[in-house]
Chain A
Amino acid sequence: MKNPTVSSKDINSHSAAAMQVLVSKEIAAHIRSWRFNILILLIVLTFGASLYVSSMGLKDAVSNMRDPDQSFLYLKLLTTTDNSIPPFHVFLNFLAPLLGIALGFDAINAEYNNGTLTRLMAQPIYRDNLLFAKFLAPLIVVGTLFVALVLLMIGGGLLGTGVRIEPQELLRILGFTLISVLYVAFWLSLAILLSIRFRQPATSALTAIGIWLFFTVFFPILVNLAIRPFLPNPNYISEQEYLAYNELILNLLRLSPSQLYTDATTTLLMPSVRSLGPIAMEQMVGAIPSPLSFRESFLMVWPQVSGLTAAMMICFAWSYYIFMRREIRS
Chain B
Amino acid sequence: MKDPIIQLTGLTKSYGKVTAVDKLDLQIYPGEIFGLLGPNGAGKTTSILMMLGLTEPTAGTAYVCGHNATRNPIAVKRKVGYLPDSVGFYPEMTALENLCFIAELNGLTKSYAQACAKDMLHVVGLEQEMHKKTGAFSRGMKQRLGLAEVLIKTPEVAILDEPTLGIDPKGVDEFLELIKRLSKEHNLTVLLSSHHLHQVQRVCDRVGIFVGGKLLVEGSIEHLAHNLQQQEGVTTAITLEDPLGDTARFEEALKALPGFRKLTVTGYSIELQTDADVTAAAVRLLVNSGANVVAVSRNDYKLDDIYNTYFENSITTNTAHEKSNGFFKRYQ
Contact = CB atoms under 8 A, between A and B. Distances in A.
Interface residues of A, number: 34
Contact of A21 (B45, B90, B101, B115): B101
Contacts of B104: 17, 21
B108 A29 contact: no
B175 interface: no
A18 B93 CA distance: 19
B253 to A, nearest CB: 60
Contacts of B85: 330
B290 interface: no
A115 B86 contact: yes
A118 to B, nearest CB: 4
Contacts of A9: 109
Interface string A108-124: 00000011101111111
Given A2-B119, A328-B54, A329-B45, 9 more contacts: A9-B109, A17-B104, A32-B92, A114-B88, A119-B82, A119-B87, A121-B54, A122-B82, A124-B75
A126 B84 contact: no
Q: For chain B, give the interface size range.
A: 35 or more
A10 B84 contact: no
Interface in A91-133: 114-116, 118-126
Contacts of A65: none
A6 B74 CA distance: 19
Contacts of A33: 92
A21 to B, nearest CB: 4
B86 A123 contact: no
A197 B64 CA distance: 32
30 contacts: A1-B122, A1-B185, A2-B119, A4-B116, A4-B154, A6-B154, A10-B107, A11-B107, A18-B107, A25-B101, A29-B90, A32-B92, A114-B88, A115-B86, A118-B82, A118-B86, A119-B82, A119-B87, A119-B102, A119-B146, A122-B52, A122-B54, A122-B80, A122-B84, A124-B105, A328-B49, A328-B54, A329-B45, A329-B54, A330-B85
Nearest to A15: B74
A330 B78 contact: no
Contacts of B87: 115, 119
A12 interface: yes
B123 interface: yes
A282 interface: no
A22 B105 contact: yes
Contacts of A124: 74-75, 77-78, 105-107
Closest 6 CB pairs of A and B: A115-B88, A122-B82, A114-B88, A118-B84, A124-B78, A124-B77
B166 interface: no
B268 interface: no
Interface string B29-72: 00000000000000001100100101100000000000000000
Given A4-B119, A327-B55, A123 B49 contact: no
B90 A116 contact: yes
A199 to B, nearest CB: 14
A14 interface: yes
Nearest to B91: A114
Interface string B111-124: 01001100100110
Contacts of B112: 4, 6, 10
Interface in A114-154: 114-116, 118-126
B189 to A, nearest CB: 16
B84 A21 contact: no
B302 to A, nearest CB: 32
B89 interface: yes
A121 B80 CA distance: 12
Contacts of B185: 1
Interface string B140-165: 00000010010001100000000000
A121 B52 CA distance: 9
Interface in B294-311: none
A118 B89 contact: no
A3 B89 CA distance: 25
A32 B90 CA distance: 13
Interface in B222-276: none
Contacts of B46: 329
Given A29-B90, A115-B84, A116-B90, A329 B105 contact: no
A129 to B, nearest CB: 9
B239 to A, nearest CB: 52
Contacts of B122: 1
A83 B75 CA distance: 61
